[in-house]
Homo-oligomer: A and B are copies of this chain.
Amino acid sequence: QVGWTDADVRAVDTARMLAADAVENVGNGHPGTAMSLAPLAYLLYQNVMVHDPSEPHWLGRDRFVLSAGHSSLTQYVQLYLNGYGLELSDLKALRTWGSATPGHPEVHHTTGVEITTGPLGSGLASAVGMAMAQRRQRGLLDPDASAGESPFDHHVWVIASDGDIMEGVSSEACSLAGHQELSNITVIYDQNFISIEDDTDISFSEDVAKRYEAYGWHVETVDWRGSTGSTGEATEDVEGVEQRAGAYVEDVDALYAALQASRERTDKPTLVLLRTIIAWPAPQAQDTGASHGSALGADEVAATKKLLGFDPEQTFPVEPEVLAHARKVIDRGQQARAAWQERYDAWRGANPERAALLDRLQDKTLPEGLAEAIPTFEADEKGVATRKASGEVLSALAPVMPELWGGSADLAGSNNTTMKGEPSFVPSSKATEMFPGHEYGRTLHFGIREHAMGMILNGIALEGLTRPYGGTFLVFSDYMRPAVRLASIQQAPVIYVWTHDSIGLGEDGPTHQPIEHLAALRAIPGLDVVRPADANETAVAWRTILQTVDHPSALALTRQNVPTFDRGKGGMASAEGVARGAYVLAEAEGGEPEVILIGTGSEVQLAVAARDTLQAEGVPTRVVSMPCREWFDEQDATYREEVLPAAVRARVSVEAGIAMGWRELVGDAGRSVSIEHFGASADYERLYQEFGVTAEAVVEAAQESL
């Protein structure tokens, strides 16, 4: 029993009307769910979640994820009522330029918002990542404490809508959450049988409870609609709005019991299937598709106010005593934090080394000795695949950088994403012969679930203490694209290890060969795409990426061997230039450069070979290795002019993908050696020949450009 007083009930009804008024005021938005979920949201913020509005970044806080991001008012109204700093004026400014209350919740923008949501499924899938991160962090900092006793124990609470449940990314993530036995996450699924196309019966009739049980979740149904059973067929069991309305009981105690029980569970995640009527209790708008995404209309808002005992003429009605009552949560939060602080201080005293680690993780600084730990590679004409070099770098980083962890979507051996000897992050009962591990392990296994991997990486990064990476083939970055975009929007320092980065993949053929992907990824604002040319560039790329803590970075790595260039004294330039995005790898000889060859990744060797030919023909030729266009764009104009002097208009780019975007660098007079069609199944040497990505083609292009 939660023991709500009249003041609580009034606060909930106030929340409903604030949501309706906010949408009415701006003329657009999503009022319905914010109204019907007001009891749930208030319950979470007032009675269930461990949090302190006066210290929103408190390390010990629970996390709240509004996966139903369109219902941002569900959260904004609580951030106001619970004293997170949002005021009525902010609610009035909903969805307007510069406001603290944008259409969907945005992390780093509104205090108290932990994650940017809106694209359906994304919040729920990322929340699984938060839950995984919490376990890993506890394992790093306080592995021996009993369950619930550690200052690093916290819970993740998610509100999900029908759309979140329908999206494949949540299926992937929740299957994995069940597998991982993540008992630190509770998802409340608001089953209101309404989506934008009105009655969800038109497209959605599966048994969600049974599906989540199949994933290994504990499922609890709390049915305010008064229908019975746990199947998704409630709309057929009931008889229309009026009847349902009569039977509608917002049993907050039952909900409270389900939520509290879910926190106590230690064996599996919990789905609370909460059956609601959208826009409750608006007399006409309730249970309608229109109430999902449109203002209710002045009359309907007034009628609802009347029903709930508010003055129908008054907008944004907040009684001072109601607000004062709700904000008592701050006192309770501070008390909880004080109690936590004692445990935390005791932990610090007992664990000075771990406390130092925590301090560093909170500061987001790199460990000492990092640069020294990263290997360098001997020059070698036969060379090594950059994916393999990347794997060696990762293994070398393992002992110095405990916060770094990651894995692959079932391609560990191909992506070289496993740090040698590190245990897998998996319940001990699920460890395998090939992958020993335990619940605090380090190597992640996403299964064949690239999209969930992307969202989970975001969740891990948002949790804030550890640094995640995830791998798959570059071509399958397409599966992850919505997650990559959200990493960028959220400035999450996620690292992608995308290998098999061109037709160099060979025999698997066109469905597995990226052609347009480098261009399409460079298109995403705020993502660094890094394609190193050899093993030493790979090492510097990793170091530079680890220094990047405010946005995501992607490595594009070869399957095939590439020569490890001979650098220094008489050879080529140092790979340190990678950190500036592009650098002169081989300078023109016999005068100022007449042509500049710009290569990335495995094609830099073609530029180098072409340079030999051109130099032999008496053309002073410079080779620029350009592993990261974004890093190069950040350099000052002087450096950029040094590398690519405006006076040299003869330029050739070479990259085994589409030329899109390269005109910017090669200019009107330049040429691009590229591939403008899908690949084919054959060995990679043959493909490079057949598709004309060769040193000869670069030479020819240079001659045309000159």
Residue A364 interfacial (CB < 8 Å): no
**Are B660 and A163 in contact, with the CB atoms below 8 A?**
no
> Which of B119, B201, B512 is within 8 Å of A476, CB to CB?
B119
Residue A690 interfacial (CB < 8 Å): yes
Which residues on the B side are within 8 Å of A376 (C-beta)? none
Residue A464 interfacial (CB < 8 Å): no
Q: Mark A94-129, 1 if CB is under 8 A from B, else 0.
A: 011111001110100000000011111100000000
> How far is B451's CA from A526's CA once the two chains are assembled, in angstroms?
24
Residue A237 interfacial (CB < 8 Å): no
**Are B204 and A211 in contact, with the CB atoms below 8 A?**
no
> Which of B117, B120, B168, B447 is within 8 Å of A203, CB to CB?
B447
- Given contacts A508-B104, A663-B664, whether A658 and B197 have CB atoms under 8 Å apart is no
Q: Mark A632-658, 1 if CB is under 8 A from B, else 0.
A: 000000000000000000000000001
Which stretch from A36-44, A137-145, A151-159, A212-220 is at the chain B interface? Answer: A212-220
Which residues on the B side are within 8 Å of A524 (C-beta)? 516, 520
Interface residues of A in 146-181 (CB under 8 A from B): 162-163, 166-172, 175-176, 178-179
Which stretch from A394-402, A596-604, A676-684 is at the chain B interface? Answer: A676-684
> Which of B175, B199, B424 is within 8 Å of A202, CB to CB?
B424
| Most B CB within 10 A of own CB, among A120, A520, A524, A678 | A520
Residue A426 interfacial (CB < 8 Å): yes
> Which of B96, B430, B431, B526 is within 8 Å of A682, CB to CB?
B96
Residue A316 interfacial (CB < 8 Å): no
Which residues on the B side are within 8 Å of A424 (C-beta)? 202
**Are B169 and A168 in contact, with the CB atoms below 8 A?**
yes
**Are B451 and A195 in contact, with the CB atoms below 8 A?**
no
**Are A485 and B478 in contact, with the CB atoms below 8 A?**
yes
| Most B CB within 10 A of own CB, among A118, A414, A448, A520 | A448
**Are B167 and A449 in contact, with the CB atoms below 8 A?**
yes
| Most B CB within 10 A of own CB, among A70, A166, A412, A413 | A166
Q: Mark A521-561, 1 if CB is under 8 A from B, else 0.
A: 01111100000000000000000000000000000000000
> How far is B205's CA from A431's CA once the two chains are assembled, in angstroms?
12
Q: With both chains docked as a complex, state the minimum distance between the C-beta of A385 and any C-beta of chain B, in angstroms.
A: 15
Which stretch from A221-229, A432-440, A606-614 is at the chain B interface? Answer: A432-440
**Are A118 and B198 in contact, with the CB atoms below 8 A?**
no
Closest to A664 in B: B663
Residue A283 interfacial (CB < 8 Å): no
- Given contacts A681-B104, A682-B96, whether A489 and B476 have CB atoms under 8 Å apart is no
> How far is B522's CA from A96's CA once the two chains are assembled, in angstroms?
32
**Are B452 and A168 in contact, with the CB atoms below 8 A?**
yes
> How far is B169's CA from A663's CA once the two chains are assembled, in angstroms?
36
Q: 15 A-B pairs, CB-CB below 8 angstroms?
A: A96-B507, A99-B681, A102-B510, A103-B509, A118-B508, A120-B448, A167-B172, A168-B170, A179-B204, A210-B213, A211-B211, A211-B215, A476-B482, A519-B519, A526-B677
